[in-house]
Amino acid sequence: MIPSAFDYAAPNTVAEALSLLALAGDSGKLLAGGQSLIPVMKLRLADPQMVIDLGRVEGLAGVREDGDALLIGAMTPHHQVATDPLVAAYVPLLAKAAATVADPQVRHRGTFGGALVHADPAGDLPAPVLAAEATFILAGPGGERRVAAADFFQGYFTTAIAEDEILTHVRVPKYTGWGAHYEKFTRVAQQWSIVAVAAMVRVEGGTIAEARIGLTNMASTPVRATAVEQALAGAPLTRDAIAAASSHAAEGTDPASDLNGDAAYRRHLAEVLTRRAVVTAAGL
Amino acid sequence: MTTAEVGRARLRKEDAHLITGRSRYTDNITLPGMLHLAMVRSPFAHAKITSVDVAAAKSSPGVVAVLTGADVAAEQGSLPNAWPITPDQKAPAHPAIAVDEVAFAGEVVACIIARSAAAARDAVELVDVDYEGLPVVLDLEEAAKDQVLAHPGLGTNKSATWVFDSGEAGTGKPIREALDGAEVLIERTFYQQRLIPSFMEPRSTVVDPTGEQITVWSATQIPHILRLMLALTLAIPESKVRVIAPDVGGGFGGKLQVTPEEAITVLAARHTGKPCKYTETRSESLMAAHHGRAQVQRLKLSATKEGIVTGLDVSLLADMGAYLGLVTSGIPILGAFMYNSIYKFPAYRFECTNLFTNKAWTDAYRGAGRPEATFAIERMMDELAAELGLDPLQVRERNWIKHEEFPFTTVAGLEYDSGNYEAATAKALELFGYDALRAEQSRRRETKDPVQLGIGISTFTEMCGLAPSRVLGALNYGAGGWEHAQVRVLPTGNIEVVTGSSSHGQGHETAWSQLVADKLGVPFENVEVLHGDTQISQRGLDTYGSRSLTVGGMAVLAAADKVIEKAKVVAAHLMEASEDDIEFADGRFSVKGTDQSTALGEIALATFSAHNLPDGFEPNLDSDATFDPQNFSFPHGTHLAAIEVDTETGRVSIRKYVCVDDVGVVVNPLIVEGQVHGGLAQGIAQALYEEAVYDDAGTLVTGSFVDYLVPGAPDLPHYTTARTETPSTTNQLGAKGVGEAGTIASTPAIVNGVLDAVRHLGVKDIRMPCSPSRVWAALEEAKMTGGVR
C-alpha cells in the first residue's frame, strides 16, 4: 500500500493550480478529497508524477445562492452538502444523495466536485446532478467554460473536462415545491450503489405535474429515465400510476453484470427502486 | 473455594492498552538496521516459471538483495502439513518461494529485501518473471474428474479419501440398510462457499538473526507450533529459535498456519544477517493467506413417515486449494463427527475426498469443519420437516438426545458427557415469541405481502476443547492436544501465570486471572498472565478449536492446585501441625479446629527466604501442570432467526435473532457475550454476504473489501442472547468453550429462515451467500417453473 514516488504541489489560487496543471501535462493529477485517488495510487493503479492538491485553493468550498440557482464549490465536502440549509431548502435531492455516500469519514474528506469529476457510474452524486439539470463550471487556460450535466458524463470515469481544466463550481437550479428522494440499493451499508434512483417530483393537486429521474449504475454514465418522466407527467398521484410509469425505468439503459447482480437483475431493480423513489418523493 | 471472580462480568484488563494506542503489533516493531521485504507474486493461477530476471530490481535504489526460489531451493524445505489423514495422502512439495511452477495466483516467486518498505515495493515491479501458462482447475466437481490437474506431477487432483462407516466402526448400523428401507429419502447437495478469515491485523513477521537465538515476532495464533515447524522446515536447531506473538489482532484460524512469508522472512534475515520485516498488504492477505470452507456436500437422509431419522450418508468434496497447509487436510475430518449433531439416528456414513485446485490453499477458519457439518444437518432437518409437512422444531424434538440420556455415545463414536437441548430450546422459544411469529407468517402469506417472513431454526452442538491426545493420535494428527501452564508465586505473594494458550483477542489475561484469583484466594489485580513468547512460556499448543479454557484453563487450575499442595507442607511446618490438619480457603492456610492460620503470601515469603523450611523441601512454590483432556466438551444451543425477504428485490433482513447457548460454567459473561456476538457476525456473513470468487483464469475477483463483503455493525441485527448452564462433567470447572458457537449455529439458522420465507413460493434452495440477486433469481426461477419443483 505504498504509492510510487510523486511530486506534490499545493497552490493557493485557481490560476496557480492551472499553471501547475499545464506544466505537469498528462502526468499531473488534481487531488481534491483524495478518497478515490489515494486508494488507486496506493494500489498502484495510478502513478501520477505530480499531485496538485486543491485543498488550499480559496473559494472552491461552500454553498451560496446565485440568483435562481445555488453555486456549490467543487471542494465542498459531502457532509457539508448533506447538511447545508440552502441545499436542503432548494435541492434536497442532493442532500439526500450526499448523505448516502460511503461512511462519515469519507463524507468529511471526500468532495462534491471530486466525486463528480471521478465519474464512477456507481457513485451517488452524478445521477442526482443530472436529474437536477445542473451546470458544470470549468476553469481552463482560456478562461471559464460551462457544460450542462447532460453533456458532462461521457463514459466510465470519463467526463467532458479537459486535461488542463479544473472544475470550480456546480450551478444547480433552485427547485421550489418539489419533493425528492434518493433510493439506494446496496448489500452492505458501506458499499457503492448496485443501483440507485434519484427522483424529483412536483405535485399539483392530485396529479404529478413534472418528474426528473436519474439512475445510478445503470450504464457507463448516469442516465435520465426519460420514459418514466414522460409517463409520470400529468399522471394521477396514485401508486398504480407510479408503478405503471416505473415499468419503463430500464428503457435505454445498459447496466453491467458483476458479483452484485447481472444486467437483468439491475433492470428489474431499476423498476422497483424507481417506483419506491417516486412514491417517497411524491409523499405518498 | 469461593466463587467471587468466576462468573463475574469483568471488563477485560488487556483492553486498556489495546484501545489507547499502547498496543504492540508486529508491524510496530522497529529494530536497528532493520530491512524491509516485499513479495513478488504470481499473477497466474498455474504456470511454469521459465526465468526470473532480478537484475533491474537488484540495482534499484535501496535494494539490498533479491531472493528467488532458485536462490533458496536448497534451504527452504517444504512447508509443513501436520495432518496426513491417510497413509497414502498425496501432496505436492510446498516451497515458500516457488521454484519451477506456481499453482495459485498470489504465490510468491521472489522476495525483495531493501532498506525501506517503499524501496522494496518499488523494486517489485522491476522483477521480470517469464511464465508459461498451464491449464487451471478451479471447480471442485471438475477437479474430481482429474481431466485438468492442479499439480500435473501428482498425476491426480485427489489428495486423500477418508471414510467413517458406523457399520464398520461398530457404532451403529450399516447405512445401506437405512437408505434401502427408507420410508422417506431426502437427497440434497449443498455448497459451502470459499471464505476468507479476514482478521483485522494483516499478517506480519519480524526476524532478528543477530543474537544467539533467531528471534521471530509474528502475528500468529501458534508461537509454539511455529517455533517447532520453522526449526524443522528450515533445519535450524529448535533451541536456536525464539518465537514471540506480541499483540495479535485476530486470527479466526487464519493465523493457525506456518506461512511462506514467515519462512521467507527467516531466510532473508539469514541471508543478510540483519533484522528483516515483512507486513502484507490487505490485497496480499485476501489473495494469499489461507481461505476456509469450500466444500461440496452431497447428502442422503433416510427417515420414517413420522420424521424419525434412520440414517445419514455424507459424501464430501473438499477443496484443499493448491497446497496442504498445517492442518488443511484434517479440516473436513473435524466435521465428520458432527453431522449427527444432537440427534440419535442409528446409521451414518461419511466419505470425504480432498481435492487440489489452483486456488489459495484452505485451512482452519472459525469452526473448521464443524460449521459445514452443522449447516448440512440443520438444513436437512428442515428439508425433512418440509417434506413431511411437520414443524421443523417438532422434527428436531423427535430426534434429539433427551437430557436424561446423557452420557450418550453417538453414531460417530463420540461420548457426549452432558447436555440439555430441551431446556435451551424452551428458553429460546420463549424469548423469540415463536407462535406469534408463525401467525404473522401465515398472515403475510395469505395477503401476498411483498415482504415475506421466515423462521430459521438451528439446534446445534459442537466438539470443543481440542483435544484428547489419544484421539488426535487415532486421527493421525502430528501432535497432541494437551496444554501447559505454570503458576509462579513471587516473594510478595503476587502471582504470575504462564500459559501455553496464546491469546490473540480472546481475553485470556482477564479470564485466567479470574480463575487463579479464586483458586488461590488472591486479589484479581495481583495476578499477571504471561504468554506468547517461547522464552517465557516454553511449552504450549496454542489457541484454536475453542480449547483455551477447557484445556489451557484446566492446566492453570491444575498448576494452582500443585502450588496449594506445596504451600500446605510449608504451612504445616510453620504452624507446627500435621499436613493432614491443614485446610486452605480464601488464600489462608489454617489448622483444623484452631484459630491458627497463615496467608499464602506469608508462606511465599518464608519459602523465598528459605530460613525455616521442612527438611528436604525444595524452596519454591512454583508449579507446572500439563493437562491432557480425557474428552472433548460439547457446548450446544438453540438459535432462532426471524427473517424478512423482500420478494421484489430479493433483499434478506434479519428482524430478530435469539440464541440460547449452553457453554457450561462461565468464567466471564462479558467475554462469552463478546465471543457469541462476533461468532454470530461471522456465521451470518457466510449466510448472506461473504464469498471468495475467482474468475475463469483463477484470479481472485474479490480481491479487496469493496468486493469481499464483510458485514459491519449497520448490517447486523440486535442479538437477544441468553444461556442455560449444563456443566461439562469432564473438567473440574464444568466449562465447555464458546469461541466458535455463534459461527457454527447462525449460518443454518439464517438460511433456513430465508427458505422458510419463500418455500411456499416454490423455492427449495439458495446457494450461499443468499445475496439479493440470488434470492430474486431463485424466486424468478420458481415462477417460471410454476412453483414447487
Q: Which domains does chain B have, with CATH numbers?
A: 17-134+200-250+255-288 (3.90.1170.50), 367-466+632-784 (3.30.365.10), 482-627 (3.30.365.10)
The residue in chain A having the minimum alpha-carbon distance to the alpha carbon of residue B120 is A2
What value does the mean pLDDT of chain A take? 97
Chain B residues in contact with A187 (beta carbon < 8 A)? 689, 709, 771-772
Closest CA to A94 of A104, A81, A103: A81
Length of chain A: 284
Task: Return the DSSP state at A27.
Answer: G
Pull the grid cell for residue B695. 474468475
Q: How far apart are CA B97 and CA B266, in angstroms?
A: 12
**B662 touches B726 (CB < 8 A):** yes
Q: How far apart are CA B722 and CA B701, in angstroms?
A: 39
How crowded is residue A50: how many other Cβ atoms within 10 Å of its Cβ?
17
**B654 touches B641 (CB < 8 A):** yes
For residue B166, with 0-12 CB atoms within 10 Å meaning exposed, 13-18 middle and 19 or more buried, which class applies? Answer: buried
Percentage of chain B lying above the pLDDT 70 cut: 99
Give all domains of chain A, ordered by start, each with its CATH number: 7-54 (3.30.43.10), 63-173 (3.30.465.10), 178-281 (3.30.390.50)
Q: How far apart are CA B578 and CA B572, in angstroms?
A: 6
Q: What is the predicted pLDDT for the residue at B3?
A: 54
The residue in chain A having the minimum alpha-carbon distance to the alpha carbon of residue B685 is A188
The H or E element containing residue B287 is helix B282-288
Interface test with A, best of B39, B112, B284, B649 (most A CBs within 10 A): B649
| Interchain proximity B712–A262, CB inside 8 Å | no
Closest CA to B362 of B161, B193, B203, B502: B193
Q: What is the predicted pLDDT for the residue at B788?
A: 47
A260 touches chain B (CB under 8 A): yes
**A125 touches A182 (CB < 8 A):** no
Amino acid (one-letter) located at B541: L
Task: Look at residue B240 and tell me whether its pLDDT is greater than 60.
Answer: yes
Interface test with B, best of A45, A265, A275 (most B CBs within 10 A): A265
- 3-class SS at B784? helix
Amino acid (one-letter) located at B532: G
Q: How far apart are CA B648 and CA B600, in angstroms?
A: 69
A259 touches chain B (CB under 8 A): yes
Can you tell me which residue has the cell 499502547? B22
Task: Return the DSSP state at B106.
Answer: T
| Interchain proximity B712–A261, CB inside 8 Å | no
| Residue of A5, A259, A269 lying closest to B649 (CB–CB) | A269
With helix as H, strand as E and coil as C, how does B535-591 read? Answer: CCCCCCCCCCCCCHHHHHHHHHHHHHHHHHHHHHHHHHHHCCCCHHHEEEECCEEEE
Chain A / chain B CB contacts < 8 angstroms: 53
What ranges in chain A are assigned the alpha helix state H?
Answer: 14-24, 37-42, 78-83, 85-90, 92-98, 104-109, 112-118, 126-131, 149-152, 226-232, 239-246, 263-281
What value does the mean pLDDT of chain B take? 97
Pull the grid cell for residue B260. 511462506
Task: Look at residue B180 and tell me whether its pLDDT is greater than 60.
Answer: yes
pTM surpassing 0.90?
Answer: yes
**B368 touches B333 (CB < 8 A):** no
Q: What is the predicted pLDDT for the residue at A210?
A: 97
CA B61 to each of CA A8, A50, A167, B65, B280: distance values in angstroms, whole numbers, following the listed order: 21, 21, 38, 11, 21
pLDDT tens per residue, range A146-175: 999 999 999 999 999 999 999 999 999 999
Closest CA to B469 of B456, B478, B461: B478
Mean pLDDT, rounded, for B224-235: 97
Q: How far apart are CA A228 and CA A239, in angstroms?
A: 14
What ranges in B433-506 are assigned the alpha helix state H?
Answer: 434-446, 469-474
Q: Give, rounded to a whole angstrom, the gap between the first and last alpha carbons of chain A.
A: 48
Q: How far apart are CA B425 and CA B662, in angstroms?
A: 10
**A221 touches A256 (CB < 8 A):** no
Q: How far apart are CA B680 and CA B686, in angstroms?
A: 10
Mean pLDDT, rounded, for B711-726: 97
The H or E element containing residue B72 is helix B69-72
Closest CA to A153 of A192, A185, A127, A183: A127
A43 touches chain B (CB under 8 A): yes
CA B301 to each of CA A163, B169, B180, B335: distance values in angstroms, whole numbers, following the listed order: 66, 19, 11, 17
CA B699 to each of CA B435, B694, B704: distance values in angstroms, whole numbers, following the listed order: 48, 5, 12
The H or E element containing residue B409 is strand B408-409
Task: Look at residue B1 and tell me whether its pLDDT is greater than 80.
Answer: no
For residue B614, with 0-12 CB atoms within 10 Å meaning exposed, 13-18 middle and 19 or more buried, which class applies? Answer: exposed
Pull the grid cell for residue B742. 455463534
Q: How far apart are CA B208 and CA A272, in angstroms?
A: 60
| Interchain proximity A191–B648, CB inside 8 Å | no
| Residue of B281, B715, B773 lying closest to A265 (CB–CB) | B773
pLDDT tens per residue, range B740-777: 999 999 999 999 999 999 999 999 999 999 999 999 99
pLDDT tens per residue, range B141-173: 999 999 999 999 999 999 999 999 999 999 999
Give the pLDDT band (50/70/90) at residue B789. very low
Q: What is the predicted pLDDT for the residue at A214?
A: 98
| Interchain proximity B712–A188, CB inside 8 Å | yes
Q: Smallest CA–CA separation between B727 and chain A, in Å?
A: 39
- Residues on B contacting A at a C-beta cutoff of 8 Å: 117-118, 121-122, 125, 281-283, 648-651, 689, 693, 701-702, 706-707, 709-712, 714-715, 771-773, 776-777
Q: Which of residues 160-219 of A touch B (CB under 8 A)?
A: 185, 187-192, 194
| Residue of A187, A192, A259 lying closest to B701 (CB–CB) | A259
CA A11 to each of CA A56, A60, A111, A136, A165: distance values in angstroms, whole numbers, following the listed order: 6, 12, 18, 22, 15
Chain B residues in contact with A265 (beta carbon < 8 A)? 650, 772-773, 776-777
Length of chain B: 789
| Interchain proximity A187–B709, CB inside 8 Å | yes
Q: Smallest CA–CA separation between B320 and chain A, in Å?
A: 24
| Residue of B281, B651, B693 lying closest to A1 (CB–CB) | B281
Q: Smallest CA–CA separation between A9 and chain B, in Å?
A: 21
Side-chain half-sphere exposure of B606, counting CA atoms within 13 A: 20
What ranges in B318-369 are assigned the alpha helix state H?
Answer: 331-336
Task: Look at residue A213 and tell me whether its pLDDT is greater than 70.
Answer: yes
**B779 touches B451 (CB < 8 A):** no
pLDDT tens per residue, range B393-408: 999 999 999 999 999 9
Q: What is the predicted pLDDT for the residue at B787?
A: 53
pLDDT tens per residue, range B92-109: 999 999 999 999 999 999
Q: What is the ipTM of this complex?
A: 0.96
CA dihedral B385, B386, B389, B391 (to 10 degrees): 50
Q: Give, rounded to a whole angstrom, the gap between the first and last alpha carbons of chain B.
A: 62
Chain B residues in contact with A260 (beta carbon < 8 A)? 771, 773
Chain B residues in contact with A2 (beta carbon < 8 A)? 117-118, 121
The H or E element containing residue B279 is strand B276-279
Give A257-265's long-range contacts (Cβ < 8 A, gap of 24+).
Answer: A259/B693, A259/B701, A259/B702, A259/B707, A260/A187, A260/A194, A260/B771, A260/B773, A261/A194, A261/B771, A261/B772, A261/B773, A262/B773, A265/B650, A265/B772, A265/B773, A265/B776, A265/B777
Q: What is the predicted pLDDT for the residue at B786?
A: 72
Chain B residues in contact with A257 (beta carbon < 8 A)? none
